[in-house]
């Protein structure tokens, strides 16, 4: 049985190559489209997910990142005075103009945080020192946007909102899903860069860390009883709301989502067609087996084994190709993500798709037509 399954698969090498090509194409398509979707989704909530904050406190009605609204820092002190709060930090996200050394202007998003607090800080710093943003004009940008922002190295000088700024660090892989790159600086500097919207005694978010032993939900409920005119979200809630907003209520998000779904549908169709054709190529042989007394179970096992071999080999090749595509995407504006869970999920999907497609075709064999086996 195992011999027949393997031989049927490998005997006709051209047929086998066609089968594998179909499966690999389908899987790579699904991986890339889904990876783009994941990359886009993750990018929208990157700053939240890497904030290390248990809670995000926002002005009432602000349901997602990027639409911050300033409110009084009195709330910040009320938070600090709340039992269960281990640490709280002021945080700003606001749009500003970046004037490049050559005179051009780009829109950017200023992120103001408290350096050294561990909350809301940029991550993956590959050049420079995080604490240098404490300097009056220090900013950190991502190396992906060097060209866009007109900077090449540490120390390059620019202007942000008519204030001087100097690049003191580069991160790697912190993308913005909008056309405005993130520029990280100290909370104090960020107020200067975003005037007149920002005022000295205002902030856009309060990032809170709970005392060990107190859950985020518990602290959230506690803060709710003390604070008014604000909304309080756990990190996961705020991340989810932000992702939902960008993915399901904006054209860009829906386009990526639709592309991912189309990739899945086309991929499944290609695999189904490929495996179906490969199985139907041997339909007469399965008919002969059936005539010889093979049970349906025997036929199923042969065909499923073939399908699993096809799926596993196709998956291996697809992952190899996807690995290079994912690596290449890291240097581009749109990242393709393939976390281990997705890689494992793809194997499961490949096997299920191949088996399902094979079983559809085997259905014909179980209703055997005697003329098929008796006539040459």
Residue of 292, 324, 340, 341 that binds other proteins (CB under 8 A)? 292
CB distance 29 to 326 below 8 Å:
no
Backbone angles phi, psi at 173, to 5 degrees: 85, 15
288 binds other proteins (CB under 8 A): yes
Number of H helices, E strands in the chain: 13, 12
294 binds other proteins (CB under 8 A): yes
Determine the Cα–Cα distance for residues 125 and 169; give it in Å rounded to an integer: 7
223 binds other proteins (CB under 8 A): no
329 binds other proteins (CB under 8 A): no
Which helix (H) or strand (E) segment holds residue 286: the answer is helix 283-291
Residue of 69, 172, 284, 301 that binds other proteins (CB under 8 A)? 284
Radius of gyration over alpha carbons of the chain, in Å?
Answer: 28
375 binds other proteins (CB under 8 A): yes
Minimum CB distance to other proteins smaller for 8 or for 47: 8
14 binds other proteins (CB under 8 A): no
Residue of 291, 334, 344, 360 that binds other proteins (CB under 8 A)? 291
Within residues 340-369, the interface with other proteins by CB under 8 A covers 368
In 24-156, the DSSP E strands lie at 55-59, 71-72, 85-99, 105-113, 125-128, 138-142
Select from 160, 158, 146, 47 the least CA-distant residue to 95.
160
370 binds other proteins (CB under 8 A): yes
252 binds other proteins (CB under 8 A): no
Determine the Cα–Cα distance for residues 351 and 356; give it in Å rounded to an integer: 8
Q: How far is the CB of 291 from other proteins (least distance, A)?
A: 5
| Residue listed under structure tokens 């926002």 | 58
306 binds other proteins (CB under 8 A): no
4 binds other proteins (CB under 8 A): yes
Judged by the rule CB under 8 A, the positions of this chain that interact with other proteins are 1, 3-4, 7-8, 10-12, 284-285, 288-296, 298, 368, 370-371, 373-376
């Amino acid at each position: 049985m195992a011999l027949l399954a393997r031989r049927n698969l490998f005997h006709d090498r051209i047929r086998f190559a066609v089968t594998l090509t179909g499966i690999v194409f389908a899987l790579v398509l699904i991986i890339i489209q889904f990876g783009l979707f994941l990359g886009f989704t993750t990018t929208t909530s990157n700053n939240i997910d890497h904030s290390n904050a248990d809670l995000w406190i926002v002005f009432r009605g602000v349901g997602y990142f990027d639409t911050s609204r300033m409110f009084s820092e009195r709330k910040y002190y009320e938070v600090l005075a709340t039992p269960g709060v281990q640490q709280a930090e002021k945080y700003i996200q606001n749009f500003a103009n970046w004037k490049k050394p050559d005179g051009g202007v780009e829109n950017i998003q200023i992120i103001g945080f408290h350096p050294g607090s561990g909350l809301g800080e940029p991550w993956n710093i590959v050049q420079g020192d995080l604490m240098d943003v404490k300097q009056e004009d220090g900013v950190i940008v991502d190396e992906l946007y060097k060209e866009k922002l007109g900077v090449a190295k540490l120390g390059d000088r620019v202007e942000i909102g008519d204030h001087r700024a100097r690049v003191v660090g580069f991160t790697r892989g912190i993308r913005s899903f909008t056309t405005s790159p993130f520029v990280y600086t100290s909370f104090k500097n960020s107020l200067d860069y975003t005037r007149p919207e920002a005022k000295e005694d205002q902030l856009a978010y309060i990032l809170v860390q709970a005392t060990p032993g107190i859950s985020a939900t518990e602290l959230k409920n506690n803060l709710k009883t003390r604070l008014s005119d604000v909304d309080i979200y756990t990190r996961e809630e705020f991340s989810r709301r932000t992702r939902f907003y960008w993915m399901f209520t904006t054209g860009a998000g829906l386009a990526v989502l639709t592309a991912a779904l189309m990739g899945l549908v086309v991929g499944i169709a290609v695999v189904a067609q490929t495996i179906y054709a490969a199985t139907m190529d041997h339909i007469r042989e399965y008919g002969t087996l059936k005539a010889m007394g093979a049970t349906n179970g025997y036929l199923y096992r042969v065909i499923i084994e073939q399908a699993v071999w096809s799926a596993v080999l196709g998956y291996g090749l697809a992952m190899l190709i996807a690995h290079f595509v994912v690596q290449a995407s890291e240097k581009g504006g749109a990242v393709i993500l393939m976390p281990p869970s997705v890689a494992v999920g793809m194997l499961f999907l490949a096997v299920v798709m191949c088996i399902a497609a094979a079983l559809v075709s085997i259905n014909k064999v179980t209703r055997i037509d005697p003329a098929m086996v008796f006539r040459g």
